[in-house]
Amino acid sequence: MRAVTNLTVHGIGETTRELEPGEDATWVSVEQFEQVMDAVADRPDVRITFDDGNDSDVRIALPRLLERGLKAEFFVLAGLLGEPGRLDADGVRELLGKGMRVGSHGWRHRDWRTLTTAQAAEELEQAHEVLGELTGSPVSRVAIPFGSYDRRVLRRLRHAGVTRAYTSDGGRARPGSWLQARNSLRHDLDDSWIGGVLAGPSFGRRAGKLGMRLYKRVR
């Protein structure tokens, strides 16, 4: 397999908590989620990931994934476990028990480019420890909040022993790459959006995305 398309789901259906500014742009309806899952059910070149640890991960997404025989990776905010509208420890265990994978989205959904030393310890050390204790195995894969990274963030991730880091850069990725671009589901997605994402960007857009990724890595 030369390339994969990574999809990111944030929240599904009616929210049970107050959303952060702009967060509603990546919150999709149950019907939209099902539409995307039906489109990728027979696509081994598509990976499904979830960010933010919303309770809709278990309440809505999990049964629909299982119905279609799909696996997914859920990136959880360790410092927000059990808060209203979020996954709790039992939810994380249920995901694992159903064959899903759990990784870290950090501690409290902060921009990793702006962390203090103390915040970096929470986001990249304490979060991994909490999730490791909960899952019973080391957590070494992360999804970068807001897709915000630079060379300092990448250096911190490598120092923390991260074995794979997912971004929000869009486009496709090489299956084994340490840094993995993803495509976020959006509130206005439709058949044309799904078709476009699964087909991959045009040559011109690929060049633009590659240029942006290179810029982020060196800035």
- Region 9-15 average pLDDT: 96
**Tens digits of residue pLDDT in 166-188:** 999 999 999 999 999 999 999 99
**Per-residue CA distances from 128 to 94, 101, 141, 166, 186 (Å):** 19, 14, 9, 16, 28
Q: What does the alpha-carbon distance between residue 25 and residue 41 come to, in Å, rounded to a whole number?
A: 24
- The pLDDT tens digits for 185-212 are 999 999 999 999 999 875 556 656 666 5
DSSP E strands, the chain: 5-9, 11-12, 27-28, 46-51, 73-76, 101-104, 141-143, 164-166, 179-180, 183-184
CA distance linking residue 186 with residue 193, whole number of Å:
9
Q: How far is CA 56 from CA 10, 142, 170, 178, 213, in A?
A: 9, 20, 23, 28, 31
- Domains recognised in the chain with CATH numbers: 5-218 (3.20.20.370)
Question: Residue 210: what pLDDT?
Answer: 60
Work out the mean pLDDT of the chain and round it to a whole number: 93
pTM: 0.93
Mean pLDDT of the 89-117 span: 97
Write down the pLDDT at residue 92.
Answer: 98
As a whole number, mean pLDDT of residues 21-25 equals 94
SS3 51: strand
Query: What proportion of the chain, given as a percentage, has pLDDT over 90?
Result: 89
- Segment 57-65 shows an average pLDDT of 98
Read off the pLDDT of each residue in 96-106 and give the average, rounded to a whole number.
Answer: 98
**Once rounded to an integer, what is the mean pLDDT over residues 31-45?**
97
